[in-house]
Amino acid sequence: MRHFDPTVRATGVGPRRRSNLAHTAVFIAVLYLSLVPCAQSAVRRESLLRRVSVSSTSVNFSAGEMTAIAVTIGSAARLDVQVIDRDGFVIRTLPSKNGAPGKNSFIWDGKDDRGAIVPDEAYSFRVVAGGGLDEYFPASQNAAMTAITPLSYSRTTSTLTYVLEKPSRVHVQAGTIDAKAEGPVLKTIVDRQPRDGGRVAEHWSGFDESGGLYVPDLPGFALAIAATPLPENSVITYGNAKQPFLAHAAHRTGASLFRHHARAAHHAGLDVFNDLAPHLSLTFAGHGLRLRADGPTAEAFLRQPGKIFLFVDSKLVATFSPRKAEDVLKAPLPANGEHVVVVNWRSDYGPVAVAVAKARSGARP
């Protein structure tokens, strides 16, 4: 089903777990980050940097917690440590040290260079030894996205559970499919958010983007989960309710240390503004549809190539090429009875904006 992440296999989850896992759909919702801290360690073979590790991979800096970065070197050298955000921007430079052979420790208190607690997200580290003779920078390489099979979805507790082999950036959506045809994405539950490794529980009410349809009760209910491993020794932060990451990112200065490509393929190499789908609203206008994308990621999303898919009662009825100058799309809308109209505006880069509305006898929803 091309409207879901094409790299992800969707899995139907109903009152009974289905043995056939060949569906393609996506579903997400955020309950909690796995909070069990665990140290990661990476053995280095270079002449200076031998090992880099962190004391915790999930930290609540707002509660005064801290994380330690241990850097092991083979000979004396100057050590510089930078904290990198998800898009490659340096948000904190820790005090340099003249490192001695063996283990050297750096402490990060979760603050940026301005002294503010960083927004909830995943952060990694760049370590430079000997003024550039050796470097540890795992975030500079893109990781491959993989499909994750859900363990279960409980309608009683509204909880989806799955297991991540390692800390990852997760994308989950819910929708419906048919054995002979494509179906729509009805809800993006988790949109490219970091999760710690191990067993993860996501809370989702079960309702679609409009809040009017209980998706697990629909024929062909399906879900899919995609995960991209985080850079080694990433730290996932939580507990900061004052500023979301998108608001913080809008005021960043300097340049990213990543080399983002002008054209991306399925979430690879995208900054946060291009990686997340915007809010999409749907209204009826005569014999057509009026769509509006808004929010902090809308401007970037509208510049991406893509397609608009129109579904009526889970059946694909029309496909459009986005035309920014045209406000209303002429669409074959139903004339009689009550119908569910779904729009999936899918970027060629991966994000999918979703809008759902009910129509009765051609009336506005």
pLDDT in tens, 21-57: 333 333 333 222 232 333 444 444 447 999 999 999 9
User: What is the pTM (predicted TM-score) of this model?
Assistant: 0.84
Count of domains forming the chain: 1
- Given a cut of 80, whether residue 91 has pLDDT beyond it is yes
Which token pair is 333? 């809308």
Least confident range of 20-34, 179-193, 221-235, 348-362: 20-34
Flag whether 104 is in a domain.
no
Flag whether 27 is in a domain.
no
Flag whether 44 is in a domain.
no
Pairing of strands 198-203, 279-285: unpaired
Residues 6+ apart with CB under 8 A from 262: none
Segment 180-184 shows an average pLDDT of 81
Say if residues 174 and 28 touch (Cβ distance below 8 Å).
Answer: yes
Flag whether 342 is in a domain.
yes
Torsion sign, CA atoms 51, 57, 60, 65:
negative
Query: How many angstroms separate the CA atoms of 79 and 104, rounded?
Result: 9
In eight-state DSSP terms, residue 211 is S
Residues 6+ apart with CB under 8 A from 277: 188, 191, 297, 301, 347, 351, 352, 353, 354
Which token pair is 299? 């401007």
Flag whether 328 is in a domain.
yes
**Mean pLDDT rounded to a whole number for the chain:** 85
Q: For 113-169, what is each residue's pLDDT tens digit?
A: 999 999 999 999 999 999 999 999 999 988 899 999 999 999 999 999 999 999 999
- Given a cut of 90, whether residue 327 has pLDDT beyond it is no
Give residue 264's pLDDT band: very low, low, confident or very high (50, 70, 90).
low
Query: How many angstroms separate the CA atoms of 297 and 321, rounded?
Result: 20
- Given a cut of 50, whether residue 285 has pLDDT beyond it is yes
- Given a cut of 80, whether residue 220 has pLDDT beyond it is yes
Q: Which domain holds residue 281?
A: 277-360
- Given a cut of 90, whether residue 281 has pLDDT beyond it is yes
Three-state DSSP state, 215: helix
Least confident range of 69-73, 221-225, 244-248, 324-328: 324-328
Element (H, E) at 190: strand 185-195
Provide the CATH number for the domain around residue 339: 2.60.40.10
